[in-house]
Amino acid sequence: MNLTAEQIQENWEIFLGNIETHVSSPRKEDLSNFYTKRAERFMIMPAADNINYHNCFPGGYVEHVNRVVSAAIEVREMWAKFGADMDTFTLEELVFSAINHDLGKVGDSTNDLYIPSDNDWRKKNLGEL
């Protein structure tokens, strides 16, 4: 998939809108500042570094996270409709988790993407390359 610059920008606005809409202060400001400070990196980042995995294209990370947030909210609404106990987590906790569920793929201050582990146990048991 190839996203246009306009689609990448629109996805970024949806991403920030999810923070604005579903996260309360002071966490909202902290989260918004964290992502805004690294906006260019997050906006163009793929969700994966291997073409065989989901959303491995520029802008794929934010597009993927937006879909996860949307799906999580829809599943929560369905559970509520069928009488599930919704007291175990708040909508804010759900959205916060969905927004940050792939944050480990970002890398660190010197590496732009996920850094493969050199741990032999992980390679053998988890199939990590």
Predicted pLDDT of residue 114? 59
Q: Against a cut of 0.75, is the pTM above it?
A: yes
pLDDT for residue 7 is more than 80:
yes
Residues 76, 6: Cα–Cα separation, whole Å: 30
What confidence tens digit (pLDDT) does each residue in 79-118 have? 999 999 989 999 999 999 999 999 988 877 777 665 556 6
Q: Which of 20, 14, 47, 46 is nearest to 33 (CA)?
A: 20
pLDDT for 121 equals: 73
Please give the pLDDT value at position 122. 60
Q: Is pLDDT of 126 > 70? A: no
Separation between Cα atoms, residue 112 and residue 74, nearest integer Å? 32
**Continuous H helices in the chain:** 5-22, 27-37, 39-44, 60-81, 91-100, 120-126
Q: For residue 49, which phi and psi values (nearest 5 degrees)?
A: -105, 10
Largest CA distance in the chain: 47
In this predicted structure, what is the pLDDT of residue 125? 66
Answer yes or no: are the C-beta atoms of 43 and 8 closer than 8 Å. Answer: yes
Domain holding 69, by residue range, is 5-126
Average pLDDT for 48-75 = 94
Alpha carbon distance 69, 96 (integer Å)? 9
Q: Is the dihedral of CA 117, 118, 122, 125 positive or negative?
A: positive
Give me the number of domains the chain comprises.
1
Residue 105, SS3? helix
d(CA 120, CA 112): 23
The predicted pLDDT at position 53 comes to 86
